[in-house]
Structure 1
């Protein structure tokens, strides 16, 4: 793969998805737009659980490709936050829409794990968490990130619960 400098400012070089800086800028802008227009949005955190013995450079690229394939709207945003964590921003969505996306991601990643296990003898697992919010002046956007990360780190992959974040 030839590295493209045209995307270097906002793309993660290993996976090709958006980087944390770009995601945070877009999410912050969308937060205030949703606050003005009284629309809800969702934040999903996704953590692939890769066995330490696997040394395949394109594994995360394939993993994120499957997640990206489950995001059907042009406004849905996938980004890499750090080595172990990815975020998905779903804008102008409700609980049913968030659950639909969660189901599509789970389906894609189960298929990917089965294919990987068939070829390499070991499946891949992941954790996922979702927080849905109707922004208001009592809630800071950081709360969504804190809650999503906390839930993701303790969830198992079969958990499709959507946490509703509300203000006081």
Structure 2
């Protein structure tokens, strides 16, 4: 979170957008098969997030967080589509492990009126809503401060 926080403030100064993405493979990392599945998804994410400035990390026990900096909604959509394309290339393996990846993403123009915790919470809610609609889907929204 320290790096994300630093980038948040840098983008506030530059008045540029970022996207905060939650990737939820819906795996409980309790047994060996689940841990293997989690590692497979991690490798797909590493392969999909290409820019050196982007941030990928494990988030809580069973999710990943991705910070995409200096990026608008179209760029975020492109990266999410790349993630799903890479997941499709190993779909048989994911099916055998019963892994369904949902993604929630918020594109935002940082400012002092926005609470980072609200961004995180909203991205998690979008990932859950995507899962309920289609176990392997995503939702991307532009976050506006009211």
With normalisation by structure 2, the TM-score equals: 0.86
Structure 1 alignment gaps of length 5 or more = 1-23
Query: In the alignment, is residue 49 of structure 1 matched against residue 49 of structure 2?
Result: no
Structure 1 position 63, deviation (Å): 1.3
Structure 2 alignment gaps of length 5 or more = none
Compared CA separation, residues 39 and 165, structure 1 to 2 (3 A):
same
Query: In the alignment, is residue 132 of structure 1 matched against residue 132 of structure 2?
Result: no
- Residues 81-123 of structure 1, C-alpha deviations (whole Å, 9 max, x = no match): 1112110000000111000001001111222222444xxx454
Residue number in structure 1 paired with 2:8? 31
Q: Is the 8 A contact 1:113 1:123 kept in 2?
A: no
Compared CA separation, residues 62 and 143, structure 1 to 2 (3 A):
same
RMSD: 2.0
1:97 aligned residue (75, 90, 93): 75
Q: How many residues align?
A: 141
Residue number in structure 2 paired with 1:60? 38
CA distance, structure 2, for counterparts of residue 115 and residue 142 of structure 1: 34
CA distance, structure 2, for counterparts of residue 140 and residue 51 of structure 1: 29
Q: Is the 8 A contact 2:18 2:109 kept in 1?
A: yes
Q: Is the 8 A contact 1:113 1:124 kept in 2?
A: no
Compared CA separation, residues 52 and 140, structure 1 to 2 (3 A):
closer
- Residues 143-166 of structure 1, C-alpha deviations (whole Å, 9 max, x = no match): 21110111112222323x321111
